[in-house]
Amino acid sequence: MPGLERGTAAEQRFNVNLSILFTELPLLERPAAAAAAGFTAVELWWPWVDSPTPDQSELDALKKAIEEAGVQLTGLNFYAGRLPGPDRGALSIPGEESERFRANIDVAADFARSLGCTALNALYGNRVEGVDPAEQDALALENLVLAARAADRIGAILLIETLNQPESPRYPLVSAPAGIGIVDQVNEATGLGNARFLMDLYHLSMNGEDLPRVIAAYAAKTGHVQIADNPGRGAPGTGTLPLKELLGQLRKAGYEGWVGLEYKPGDRPSAEAFDWLPAEARAAR
Return the bridge partners of 159, or none: 121, 196
Q: Which helix (H) or strand (E) holds 284?
A: none
Average pLDDT, the chain: 95
pLDDT given at position 285? 64
Dump pLDDT digits (tens) for 218-238. 999 999 999 999 999 999 999
Q: Does residue 219 belong to any structural domain of this protein?
A: yes
Answer whether residue 1 shows pLDDT above 50. Answer: no
Cα 234 to Cα 182: distance, rounded to the nearest angstrom: 29
Which range marks the domain in which residue 152 is found? 6-272
Answer whether residue 65 shows pLDDT above 60. Answer: yes
Domain count, the chain: 1
Cα-Cα-Cα-Cα dihedral sign, residues 147, 264, 24, 17:
negative
Q: Does residue 278 belong to any structural domain of this protein?
A: no
Greater model confidence, 83 or 3: 83
Answer whether residue 5 shows pLDDT above 90. Answer: no
Dump pLDDT digits (tens) for 10-58. 568 999 999 999 999 999 999 999 999 999 999 999 999 999 999 999 9
Cα 151 to Cα 194: distance, rounded to the nearest angstrom: 8
Are 179 and 160 in contact, with CB atoms under 8 Å apart? Answer: yes
pLDDT given at position 7? 46
Catalytic residues: 161, 262
The rounded Cα 234 to chain-centroid distance in angstroms is 16
Cα-Cα-Cα-Cα dihedral sign, residues 47, 50, 52, 57:
negative
Answer whether residue 6 shows pLDDT above 50. Answer: no
Cα 208 to Cα 30: distance, rounded to the nearest angstrom: 33
Q: Does residue 285 belong to any structural domain of this protein?
A: no
Question: Which amino acid is it at 102?
Answer: R
Greater model confidence, 6 or 208: 208
CATH number at residue 220: 3.20.20.150
Ramachandran angles phi, psi of 69, nearest 5°: -75, -20
Which residues neighbour 66 within 8 Å (Cβ) at sequence distance 6 or greater?
Answer: 31, 42, 73, 115
Q: Does residue 280 belong to any structural domain of this protein?
A: no
Counting residues of the chain whose pLDDT is more than 70, the rounded percentage is: 96
Cα 14 to Cα 42: distance, rounded to the nearest angstrom: 9
- Average pLDDT (160-165) is 97
Q: Does residue 22 belong to any structural domain of this protein?
A: yes
- Average pLDDT (156-170) is 97
The confidence band for 4, taking pLDDT boundaries of 50, 70 and 90, is low
Q: Does residue 50 belong to any structural domain of this protein?
A: yes
Q: Does residue 282 belong to any structural domain of this protein?
A: no
The SS3 of residue 142 is helix
DSSP string for 145-197: HHHHHHHHHTT-EEEEE---TTT-TT-S--SHHHHHHHHHHHHHHHS---EEE
pLDDT given at position 281? 87
Question: Which amino acid is it at 75?
Answer: G
Dump pLDDT digits (tens) for 129-151. 999 999 999 999 999 999 999 99
Answer whether residue 9 shows pLDDT above 80. Answer: no
Taking the CA atoms of residue 23, residue 28, residue 29 and residue 34 in that order, the dihedral angle to the nearest 10 degrees is: 70
Q: Does residue 183 belong to any structural domain of this protein?
A: yes
Cα 248 to Cα 12: distance, rounded to the nearest angstrom: 9
